[in-house]
Amino acid sequence: MNPSSPLIFVAFLTILVAPLCAAENAEPSGGSPIERWFMQDYMLGDWGGLRSDLSDHGVDLEFFYVGSVPNNISGGIRHGAIYQSGMILALDLDFEKMGLWKGGSFHASSVWLNGQPFSDQYVGDLNKTNLVDFPADFRVWQVYFQQHLLDEKLTLKAGLLSVDRDFILPEMYNSLASINFLNQTFFFPTMAFNLYDQPFFPKGAHSLPSTPYGVPAVVLKWDASQSLYLKAGVYDGYPDKTGPGTRIQLHSDEGALFFYELGWRRNMEQGAKGLPTSVKAGGYYHTDEFYDIYNTIASLIPLGLSNGPTTHDGNYGLYLLAERMLWREQGPDDPAQQGVTGFFRTAWAPRDRNIAEYSIDGGLVFKGLIPGRDYDTLGIAGSYMRMSRDLERAVEDINKVLGFQFAEPHDYEAVVELSYKLQLAAWWTLSPNLQYVMHPGGSGAIPNAWVFALQTTLRF
């Protein structure tokens, strides 16, 4: 497919319908048929009342499409654009509405991904500048049962799960329900991807079960109060990426991944008059063996710097995520929740077994900044990820022994993102996005890159 074709189509459609969408998300009771169409919640409507009837009886269906054209316009590995897309299909069953039992539910979802790799071929960044930059595939994503217990203070979830849907989960500035940034690190910190096998390292039995990969897992959440919760989860630490996600493999030589999180939330309930605030602190531990960064890198060239790769028992990390609405334009009953939201996040992992040792990111989201565009959002965010000093030291020692610069020492990767999301209809968004990537890949070997992307989302 010509990468410019989706851009032309979306731009044409935007020019055609944008004047009709000034009253987006209003009740679709008046106006012309096309106006009511753009004001309804779903592109395909209520299916003649069938969708609402199914929901009243505990059956909800969701079809969500993301299409994106990332374009590396300067720097990086090479210039160029491609088209990438993802389709999410989800089914939710509420057992109480179905007349079965109280507090129980079932969820099943799949992901259909299309397109060629972008960051690996054009930019070279670790953070990945495009939200749907994954290998083309059709996969089962999540399939689980959930049960509320003890007057809904205890929640048990078990099945095929992705860790990024339960931990370090943004609630106010970025989510699948409200996509405001395209760089993947603002959905789930790139630091956690230290759990993947690293290039040129011996293969281990560990990885990160994040979207679009689900693994057998159990998550338990205890709501100690309206404001305080404690959550813990255990996941298969080595997701199967070879099939459609339905092949479950549990072997004794594979690692297990444990996540823990303590959360504090204030004014997040419906109708709360204060400004919403959320703070989450947690950590993870993987039980598999992980290769020592310095010894493994130094052993790639036999210079006497290392006697060969050595391993460490387990791997771990810590994180903190804080979100707060800083200013609200109207009261808590404003359906658009116009105002300014800020976020800050940091993560740390030991440098001796991880290619990155800490990261810091943060930003602001402005909603309803332009009069008459109450549901539009402007997002500004930045991320800094410090590469392991053991990795940097290994490369420097190799260069010193060789007497010339064999490789560029690794220091950091950073990105600044500016995004504007146009809410063209209740079911349709369009987002022009600009990112400046510094030190792609964690060193100065690849030139800094400017990436422009245009993304659209459709809710069917």
Distances (CA, A) of 426 to 9, 20, 225, 227: 19, 12, 34, 31
pLDDT tens digits, 67-83:
999 999 999 999 999 99
Total-model pTM: 0.89
Q: What percent of the chain has pLDDT over 90?
A: 77
Provide the pLDDT for residue 18.
39
Provide the pLDDT for residue 186.
95
Task: Tokens for 460, please give them.
Answer: 């069917």
Provide the pLDDT for residue 332.
86
DSSP 88-138: EEEEEEETTTTTS-TTEEEEEEEEEEES--SIIIII--SS-S-TT-S-SEE
- Alpha carbon 454 to its chain's center: 18
Number of Cβ atoms within 10 Å of the Cβ of 194? 24
Q: In the structure, what pLDDT confidence band is assigned to residue 199 with cuts at 50, 70 and 90? A: confident
Over residues 399-410, mean pLDDT:
92
Domain contains 20: no
Which CATH number does the domain housing residue 239 bear? 2.40.160.180
Residue span of the structural domain in which 158 resides: 57-459
Give dist(CA 49, CA 97) in Å, integer: 17
Closest CA to 414 of 367, 362, 372: 362
Over residues 403-431, mean pLDDT:
95
Domain contains 22: no
Overall number of domains in the chain: 1
Provide the pLDDT for residue 245.
64
Domain contains 103: yes
Domain contains 410: yes
DSSP 358-378: EEEEEEEEEES-STT-TT-EE
CB within 8 A of 447, min separation 6: which ones? 75, 76, 440
Provide the pLDDT for residue 13.
39
Domain contains 26: no
Domain contains 438: yes
Provide the pLDDT for residue 14.
39
Domain contains 12: no
Q: In the structure, what pLDDT confidence band is assigned to residue 10 with cuts at 50, 70 and 90? A: very low
Q: In the structure, what pLDDT confidence band is assigned to residue 323 with cuts at 50, 70 and 90? A: very high
**Cβ atoms 86, 115 nearer than 8 A:** no
Domain contains 453: yes
